[in-house]
Copies of this chain bind each other. A is one copy, B any other.
């Protein structure tokens, strides 16, 4: 015999562009927020799985509609506030729904005219947020950043590692180090200056990345530590750092020196370093990471 285990359902990748007209600096021009919103619900959903009875299944189409309606209703809020409010909405209005999860990817734009009506995508990163609201456990909140590509031309080493039968790597005392930062940070609470928190976390991880590094793991720990120091509302940081290898091009066959000047940027395979840094007093995460 079989049983139904954990399940959830929702609408993924609802693309919302919201314009706050006249909300630019000094009341001139617009502010735009470009979001990709995904929502999912869980609760007493056995019937639809077992018999196709949909009496508890608020349609994913409704979830899409709700995203747009809330974008209008909530106005120019930060994505953290939006995600928290939307997640709370479902568990407070749908009897069968005991947990709601809302994720937002925010794509940054920058103004390209003094009038404040024209913008260009600023492609350096994606800001991410996930809020979960559970009937019993209340709200939890994760922030983070994706697609932040960074590189050090010097100051990175990797040596002193063990060697087994399959090890051919040479010690590196001055390698190029590049990665695409994927970071998530867990919030202690649900009230903070979210724009300032994101800016501080981003700046802190960038600064930590520029420090001398004996391994990408060391850089990872430095980045997590720096974020925790920069934003007290953050209690835990999880990082995934692909090591985007840049190998020195071998120019010797052509009689040319290559003193750390010309590199080949490889695609695959790549190293992948994943780790967590926690404040000593971080509360139990509960369902925050689910």
Contact check, A123 vs B120: say whether CB atoms are below 8 A apart. Answer: no
A-B contact pairs, 27 of them (CB 8 A): A1-B280, A2-B279, A5-B276, A6-B275, A11-B269, A11-B270, A12-B268, A12-B271, A15-B265, A16-B265, A21-B153, A38-B269, A49-B217, A49-B221, A52-B215, A52-B218, A54-B161, A55-B161, A57-B162, A62-B163, A65-B166, A72-B249, A72-B251, A73-B256, A113-B210, A117-B154, A119-B153
Task: Return chain B residues, CB-CB under 8 Å to A59.
Answer: 158, 161, 167, 169
Contact of A168 among B34, B65, B125 (CB under 8 A): B65
- Shortest CB-to-CB span from A235 to chain B, Å, is 10
Tally of A interface residues using CB under 8 Å: 137
Roughly how many angstroms separate A65 CA and B169 CA in the complex, as a whole number?
Answer: 10
A185-244 residues with Cβ-Cβ distance < 8 A to B are 206-207, 209-210, 213-218, 220-221, 224-225, 228, 236, 238, 242-243
Please tell me how many copies of the chain the complex holds: 4
Contacts of A242 in B (CB 8 A): 12
Contact A117 B166 (CB under 8 A): no
- Whether A274 is near chain B, meaning CB under 8 Å from some CB there, is yes
Question: A54 vs B57: C-alpha distance in the bound complex, in angstroms?
Answer: 47
Complex contact B161–A148 (CB within 8 A): no
**Contact pattern, A 1-30, Cβ under 8 Å of B = 1, otherwise 0:** 111111111111111111111000000001
The reply to whether A19 and B218 form a contact with Cβ atoms under 8 Å apart is: no
Q: How far does the alpha carbon of A191 sit from the alpha carbon of B209 in the complex, in Å?
A: 40
**Nearest 3 interchain pairs by C-beta:** A123-B123, A52-B214, A5-B276
Shortest Cβ gap from A107 to chain B (Å):
9
Task: Name the CB-closest residue of B to A155.
Answer: B117
